[in-house]
Structure 1
Amino acid sequence: MLDRLQRLQEALQAHVRPATFPVAIRMIAPGEPWPEKTRFPKRDFGQQIAICQGFAIARHYGWIIGMRGEDLSCPLAKAVWGFEPLLDYYLNGMTCAGMYTETPAAGAVSEAQVDKWEYRQWEGVVVAPLHRTTFEPHVILIYGNSAQVMRLVVARLWKTGGRLTSSFSGRIDCADAVITTMKTDECQVILPCYGDRVFGQAQDDEMAFTIPNSKIEWIVEGLEGTHKGGIRYPIPKFLRYTGIYPDHYMEMERQWREKKEATPSG
């Protein structure tokens, strides 16, 4: 397992070069031991955080972060991740209405389409920088710019061809990153949501990409294969061309040419 993660780490550093650490994510089943050196926000920081903040701490600080219901501040994450029961208030669109949707009815449509865990299906979630991961992850999450995410999309399609399909709402991207990836067993392009930008401090030039455990080898092979095929990051610039200059610059060329023509040769 660790050898597989090491190969992925090396491939990402060689071919994608993300600015922050790729992170490994595992859902912790009831009774399952937590990895060593896991830090719990409430116990260790005296703070409750959003799940996107946990992603950010792992990818920026390199810490192993464990999150249970008691560690979370975000009511939406508590509900969607099954740490608290779903309420009719949420399901009827009241947390969407007036902020993300015009009406509660439209909000209910949005909430119904968010992937969710069952209540108490999991004890919690652990997030670790890929290079420090000692557990079998369910999902790998990489933040990057649009070119880096494009590079990962191309890598995913190396073996199969076709197109990668993801969906976006601008809300609850933590569910898109982990729950949707696990339920579909497919890579996802992640558009950081409003909360991820406020609390997780995702930047305007960042997107994200997820890899389910089953596709790790595909991504490694795809990064290497597409690299050999000529796909690169940073994107190479085409520089072998003759520039076009203003006419008053080109007047110098005209004068030089006239002088050469007026000078007898040999």
Structure 2
Amino acid sequence: MNAQQLNEAIQKFVRPGTFPVGIKIVKELEKLPPKAKRPKQDLQIEITICQAVGFSRRYGWTIAMNGEDLSCPIAQVAFGYEPELPYYTEGSLVCGMYTETMEAGVKSEQDVPKLPQEESGYYVSFPLERAPFDPDVVVVYGNSAQVMRLTAGMLYKRGGSIPSTFSSRADCADIAIKPLLTGEPQVILPCYGDRLFAQTQDDEMAFSFHFSDAKELAEGLMGTQKGGVRYPIPTFLRYQAEFPRSYQKLTELFKSPGDLS
């Protein structure tokens, strides 16, 4: 299954409000898509990873970036562009904001998925329907019902549940790095930065998965659709409405037209 076929399945069965996004780590500059926008060069700004995904899912742009284009210091470490300095590992970034103590901050930073520096490269995001190559990871933003729909599709063949972790920060690492390292899909709770910088809305969540699961997901979406798990979620309408007493009185009069009292 190619990226366009996967996109068609997602659009048909999930109907997300923004483009499904492909993400790929590209090692060499010459292998970047020719129409990709480099933030610092083409937009004259440095951006966050979540902004790159935002450009792809909302504008339909292909973004290619590395540490030179990246404004977020947490992502600089997570994506292997900069080393884990003591100031970072000791919890200084989170203490007083996300954690009460430095000790708790250390645990928070240790829990952020990190791409080894030797595996780092250009972070490329693009709308799935215009994929210049097969992605490494796919992320789909939607409401909770749409994310549930994707979860059901992914579990159609394998059963069980999808374990995910939530921390309220660095969701860019959960979206891309965790599926790369584990091969497992992730339900994503958008982080504070994703909402602040990438304009992710309060009613949005996300679902990311390794592209190797594309065929399984597409078949699972079709199978669960046939089984009755659908989006939009159908509402139960086979009931008789109950009306106020004054309305009921008029109904009684309809049945007894001789009684006008």
Structure 1 residue 6 displacement after superposition:
1.9
Which residue in 2 is equivalent to 1:50? 48
Which residue in 2 is equivalent to 1:179? 177
Matches within 5 A, 1:83-162: 83-162=81-160
Letter in 2 for 1:160: R
Provide the C-alpha distance between the structure 2 equivalents of 1:151 and 1:123, rounded to a whole number of angstroms: 32
Structure 1 residue 238 displacement after superposition:
1.4
User: Against the structure 1 CA distance between its residues 216 and 32, is the aligned structure 2 distance closer, same or farther, given a 3 Å change threshold?
Assistant: farther
Q: Percent identity?
A: 49
Which residue in 1 is equivalent to 2:14? 16
Structure 1 residue 32 displacement after superposition:
6.4
SS of 1:97's partner is coil
Letter in 1 for 2:67: G
Q: Is the 8 A contact 1:52 1:174 kept in 2?
A: yes
Structure 1 residue 119 displacement after superposition:
2.7
SS of 1:158's partner is helix
SS of 2:156's partner is coil
Equivalent of 1:72 in 70, 73, 96: 70
Which residue in 2 is equivalent to 1:7? 5
Letter in 2 for 1:88: P
Letter in 1 for 2:162: L
Q: Is the 8 A contact 1:84 1:120 kept in 2?
A: no
Equivalent of 1:40 in 38, 63, 71: 38
Provide the C-alpha distance between the structure 1 equivalents of 2:88 and 2:118, rounded to a whole number of angstroms: 18
Q: Is the 8 A contact 2:56 2:127 kept in 1?
A: yes
Letter in 1 for 2:99: T
Name which of structure 1's ranges 239-248 and 50-59 shifts more when overlaid on structure 2: 239-248
Q: Is the 8 A contact 1:30 1:122 kept in 2?
A: no
Letter in 1 for 2:169: R
User: Against the structure 1 CA distance between its residues 4 and 119, is the aligned structure 2 distance closer, same or farther, given a 3 Å change threshold?
Assistant: closer
Equivalent of 1:244 in 218, 225, 242: 242
Which residue in 2 is equivalent to 1:205? 203
Structure 1 residue 31 displacement after superposition:
6.2
Structure 1 residue 104 displacement after superposition:
1.0
Structure 1 residue 38 displacement after superposition:
1.1
Structure 1 residue 258 displacement after superposition:
4.0
Q: Is the 8 A contact 2:4 2:130 kept in 1?
A: no
Which residue in 1 is equivalent to 2:228? 230
Gaps spanning 5+ residues in structure 1: where?
Answer: none
User: Against the structure 1 CA distance between its residues 94 and 28, is the aligned structure 2 distance closer, same or farther, given a 3 Å change threshold?
Assistant: same
Q: Is the 8 A contact 2:40 2:46 kept in 1?
A: yes
Gaps spanning 5+ residues in structure 2: where?
Answer: none
Q: Is the 8 A contact 2:3 2:135 kept in 1?
A: no
Structure 1 residue 101 displacement after superposition:
0.6
Letter in 2 for 1:238: F
Cα RMSD after superposing both structures: 1.5
Aligned length: 260
Letter in 1 for 2:31: P
Letter in 1 for 2:82: E
Which residue in 1 is equivalent to 2:254? 256
Structure 1 residue 214 displacement after superposition:
1.4
Q: Is the 8 A contact 2:22 2:126 kept in 1?
A: yes
Structure 1 residue 146 displacement after superposition:
0.5
Matches within 5 A, 1:188-203: 188-203=186-201
Structure 1 residue 91 displacement after superposition:
0.9
Structure 1 residue 253 displacement after superposition:
2.2
Q: Please, what TM-score do these two structures have when normalized by structure 1? A: 0.94
Structure 1 residue 120 displacement after superposition:
4.8
Q: Is residue 220 from structure 1 mapped to residue 218 from structure 2 by the alignment? A: yes
Q: Is the 8 A contact 1:149 1:189 kept in 2?
A: yes
Provide the C-alpha distance between the structure 1 equivalents of 2:137 and 2:123, rounded to a whole number of angstroms: 11
